[in-house]
């Protein structure tokens, strides 16, 4: 059995076994699925003549002479002369006298280590070594050599030697579970071959096919998981049957009353949402759109349609300010419809709360807008048809399911201004349908964005002062400090002191950070909104979605520490009024790499485009915080491989369409059930 413990089949020490265990490798299956991190191509060894000083060089050659001496300080020094067809080099190892007997002369050996200059002589210092001939038949099938993730005490060499015989004996136990027609249609390698070739490929082509197969498996299983969960949820909830009609005439009346026309993107997503509302199982849809792309009116249209069908609607936002903003928008946009719209938050008085809850239960309140207060235990609804969650990622899984529960499976629409490339979204939020507003309303100004190097800092400050004297306002975002909330607050206070006392002594400077109480934050934001403060210094907690049209300058300190999507969100705080707006990216000691990344902020103004660039440059883990956003832990597949993700998705969709319970694919079903539920995000 592949689940056989390694201790029973591997001839090795208990130390090695416990090292393996520490990286989660306990069984034969675990070890065979401990995939190489990279491959060394023997044709890519450095020639001795081309070795670079102070860098790690990997060279293939033979040992000409080898001896151990004792230094004056009593250390044992093993010295060798190593040679390839281009030249020779001295090699030294400290305190490893056994090498003198272990390393053969005149056999091919690979050495990998740093080239150093000591007492005027070039020396390859304490390189790792691998004797090629000895294992060539077993391990080095061809010229591509697997390199495993580095773990103290477990060398790639050791792993290769152990995995190879294990593979020969056990790989045949892997049973194919992928349906034949998918294998055929996608031209995928069979499982056994893929597992063998991922460790010991004989050609680049074999390696490529092995990778493709194993990556496909991961992405396919992930899609099966999210899609079948979506089905399950729809089925469980569909008892409630909240199908609505599309009240075209009245909805048109609303859109006609607007001072603008909907963009094509807005029209498209409205249609997608309304078509969902017609179904008798609940919608589960994520609406993504850049800051300012006009998600609110879309939400208003959906809510109105629910109310016109005799249902109630709620809009839940993560903060009081955001909820209040929605409340005002809804009142304004729906003023002709004489609806009962209520606001509820932590600061609502108890008696008023009770009154609103009563109205929700009896059904006299049509639309409730608020914060977490909407999902308190006492709250209930007469007939909730639609729940809208703004900035959905700011709420936990529990809070969302609470809303579903007390609302008795309403249609659910989540809004998000965090741009995530589509391929990543169908992976991470795969159990929701996606609507994307990828077009800004016409006439929006481009926010002029510039990277400001240290030597231009003072000039920038004087320019800002000048702008403030002309009546404008500015945000200053302080660097992200990962280690501690405390340090971050400390640094923002320092920056506040510096700016208010030394740089802008004659201006009003405000300070906002996460350690303040909600009321304090609200007060500070209000002061800024009223233009009683000219410059607001803040940590990155600054509220998403806040609208201060007179603020035209966004300064971001330590900008290289933020992801592009986040920088883009900060930038979205300005450019909301009539005046030309600016975003300045301050950066102290940026590498070329991060300067290049920041440059794309100067060039691009679409959040989706920037998110894609960031995903490519930094990878999904960095960009979205693996744990935080629950990105699946993929070993082989890459979340940037959009083509393979799309293939996995469409195959999973088709399979579930034809065989919803996987009854005709028993082996796949079994495999599917082994995947832990935590593998996918809620
Ligand atoms: P967000 O997607 O960030 O929530 P909002 O819904 O707050 O964006 O919209 C931002 C601003 O754009 C609002 O003032 C809104 O009235 C306006 N707006 C929305 N749609 C359009 C449109 N199609 N044309 C012009 N202005 C629009
Ligand atoms: Mg909004």
* Tens digit of each residue's pLDDT (9 = 90 or more) over 543-576: 555 678 899 999 999 998 888 888 998 898 898 8
Q: Is 582 left (phi over 0), alpha (psi -120 to 50) or beta?
A: beta
* Structure tokens that stand for 43 in this block: 């044709």
Does pLDDT of 331 surpass 80?
yes
Atom of ligand 1 nearest to the CA of 266: 23
Ligand 1: residue of 441, 570, 571 to mutate (most ligand atoms within 8 A of CB) is 441
Which residue, among 292, 284, 285, 250, has the nearest Cα to 268 in the 3D structure? 285
CA of 434 to the centre of ligand 2 (A): 17
Instruction: Please write the tens of the pLDDT for every residue from 192-213.
Output: 999 999 998 888 899 999 999 9
CA of 301 to the centre of ligand 1 (A): 13
Tell me which of 510 and 233 has the higher pLDDT: 510
| Ligand found nearest the CA of 290 | 1
Ligand 1: residue of 263, 292, 301 to mutate (most ligand atoms within 8 A of CB) is 292
Sort 537 into a burial class: Cβ within 10 Å, 0-12 / 13-18 / 19+. Answer: buried
Q: Where residue 584 falls among pLDDT bands split at 50, 70, 90?
A: very high
* Mean pLDDT over the full length of the chain: 87
SS3 assignment, position 584 = strand
C-beta separation of 423 from 614 below 8 A? no
What are the start-end ranges of the E strands in 71-118?
76-84, 87-94, 109-118
Atom of ligand 1 nearest to the CA of 298: 6
SS3 assignment, position 563 = coil
Q: Which helix (H) or strand (E) holds 310?
A: none
Q: Rg of the Cα trace of the chain?
A: 31
**Nearest alpha carbon, ligand 1 atom 16:** 294
Atom of ligand 1 nearest to the CA of 545: 3
**Nearest alpha carbon, ligand 1 atom 18:** 294
Q: Which helix (H) or strand (E) holds 611?
A: helix 607-624
* pLDDT, position 43: 58
Question: Greatest CA separation found in the chain?
Answer: 97
| DSSP code of residue 636 | S
CA of 257 to the centre of ligand 2 (A): 20
Ligand 1, residues at Cβ distance < 6 Å: 260, 262-263, 266, 289, 291-297, 417, 441
* pLDDT, position 134: 46
C-beta separation of 518 from 320 below 8 A? yes
Q: Which range, 115-124, 268-277, 452-461, has the best average confidence (pLDDT)?
A: 268-277
Residues with CB under 5 A from ligand 2 (ion): 545
Instruction: Please write the tens of the pLDDT for every residue from 251-300.
Output: 999 999 999 999 999 999 999 999 999 998 899 899 999 888 999 999 99
Instruction: Please write the tens of the pLDDT for every residue from 600-654.
Output: 999 999 888 898 888 888 776 666 654 444 556 677 887 778 889 889 999 999 9
Q: What domains sit in the chain, N to C, each tagged with a CATH number?
A: 44-142 (2.40.50.140), 248-278+293-416 (3.40.50.300), 448-604 (3.40.50.300)
- The backbone torsions φ and ψ at residue 297, rounded to the nearest 5 degrees and listed phi first, read -65, -35
Kindly report the pTM of this predicted structure. 0.70
Instruction: Please write the tens of the pLDDT for every residue from 342-375.
Output: 999 999 999 999 999 999 999 999 999 999 999 9
CA of 266 to the centre of ligand 1 (A): 10
* pLDDT, position 626: 41
SS3 assignment, position 341 = strand
CB atoms within 10 A of CB 650: 11
Asked which of 9-23, 217-231, 614-628 is least confident by mean pLDDT, the reply is 614-628
* pLDDT, position 482: 61
**Nearest alpha carbon, ligand 1 atom 17:** 294
Distance CA 286, CA 273 (A): 10
């Amino acid at each position: 059995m592949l689940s056989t413990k390694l201790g029973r089949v591997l001839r090795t020490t208990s130390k090695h076994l416990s090292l393996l265990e520490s990286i989660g490798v306990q069984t034969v299956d675990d070890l065979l699925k401990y995939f190489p991190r990279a491959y060394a191509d023997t044709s890519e060894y450095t020639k001795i003549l081309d070795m670079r000083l102070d860098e790690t060089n990997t060279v293939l050659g033979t040992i000409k002479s080898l001896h151990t001496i004792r230094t004056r300080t009593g250390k044992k020094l093993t010295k060798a002369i190593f040679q390839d067809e281009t030249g020779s080099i001295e090699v030294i190892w400290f305190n490893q006298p056994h090498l003198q007997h272990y390393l053969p002369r005149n056999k091919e050996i690979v050495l990998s280590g740093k080239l150093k200059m000591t007492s005027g002589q070039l020396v390859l210092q304490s390189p790792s070594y691998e004797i090629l001939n000895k294992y060539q038949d077993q391990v080095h099938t061809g010229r591509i050599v697997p390199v495993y993730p580095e773990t103290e005490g477990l060398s790639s060499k050791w792993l290769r030697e152990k995995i190879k015989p294990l593979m020969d004996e056990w790989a045949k136990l892997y049973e194919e579970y992928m349906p034949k027609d998918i294998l055929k249609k996608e031209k995928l390698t069979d499982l056994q071959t893929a597992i063998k070739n991922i460790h010991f490929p004989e050609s680049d082509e074999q390696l490529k096919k092995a990778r493709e197969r194993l990556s496909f498996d991961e992405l396919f299983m992930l899609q099966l998981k999210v899609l079948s969960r979506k089905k399950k949820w729809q089925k469980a909830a569909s008892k409630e049957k909240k199908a609505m009609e599309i009240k075209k005439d009245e909805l048109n009346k609303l859109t006609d009353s607007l001072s603008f026309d909907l963009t094509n993107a807005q029209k498209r997503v409205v249609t997608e949402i309304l078509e969902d509302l017609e179904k008798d199982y609940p919608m589960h849809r994520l609406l993504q759109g850049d800051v300012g792309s006009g998600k609110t009116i879309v939400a208003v249209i959906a809510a109105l349609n629910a109310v016109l069908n005799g249902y109630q609607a709620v809009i839940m936002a993560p903060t009081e300010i955001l909820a209040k903003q929605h409340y005002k928008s809804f009142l304004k946009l729906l003023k002709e419809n004489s609806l009962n719209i209520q606001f509820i938050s932590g600061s609502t008085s108890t008696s008023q709360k009770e009154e609103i809850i009563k109205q929700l239960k009896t059904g006299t309140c049509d639309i409730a807008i608020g914060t977490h207060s909407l999902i308190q235990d006492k709250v209930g609804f007469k007939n909730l048809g639609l729940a809208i969650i703004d900035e959905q990622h700011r709420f936990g899984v529990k809070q969302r399911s609470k809303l579903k529960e007390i609302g008795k499976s309403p249609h659910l629409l989540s809004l998000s201004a965090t741009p995530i490339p589509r391929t990543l979204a169908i992976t991470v939020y795969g159990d929701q349908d996606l609507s994307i507003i990828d077009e800004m309303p016409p006439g929006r100004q481009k926010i002029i964005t510039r990277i400001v190097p240290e030597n231009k800092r003072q000039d920038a400050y004087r320019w800002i002062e000048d702008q403030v004297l002309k009546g404008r306002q500015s945000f200053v975002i302080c660097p992200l400090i990962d280690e501690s909330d405390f340090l971050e607050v400390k640094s923002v206070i320092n920056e506040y002191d510096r700016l208010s006392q030394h740089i802008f002594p004659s201006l009003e400077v405000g300070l906002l950070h996460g350690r303040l109480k909600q009321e304090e934050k609200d007060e500070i934001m209000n002061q800024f909104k009223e233009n009683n403060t000219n410059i607001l210094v803040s940590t990155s907690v600054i509220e998403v979605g806040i609208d201060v049209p007179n603020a035209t300058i966004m300064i971001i300190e330590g900008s290289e520490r933020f992801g592009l999507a986040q920088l883009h969100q900060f930038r979205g705080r300005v450019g909301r009024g009539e005046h030309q707006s600016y975003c300045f990216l301050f950066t102290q000691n940026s590498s070329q790499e991060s300067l290049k990344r920041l440059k794309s902020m100067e060039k691009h103004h679409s959040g989706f485009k920037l998110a894609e660039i960031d995903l490519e440059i930094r990878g999904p883990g960095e960009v979205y915080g693996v744990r935080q956003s629950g990105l699946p832990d993929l070993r082989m597949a890459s979340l940037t491989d959009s083509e393979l993700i799309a293939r996995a998705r469409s195959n999973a969709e088709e399979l579930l369409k034809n065989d919803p319970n996987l009854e005709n694919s028993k082996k796949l079903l079994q495999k599917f059930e082994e995947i832990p539920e935590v593998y996918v995000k809620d």
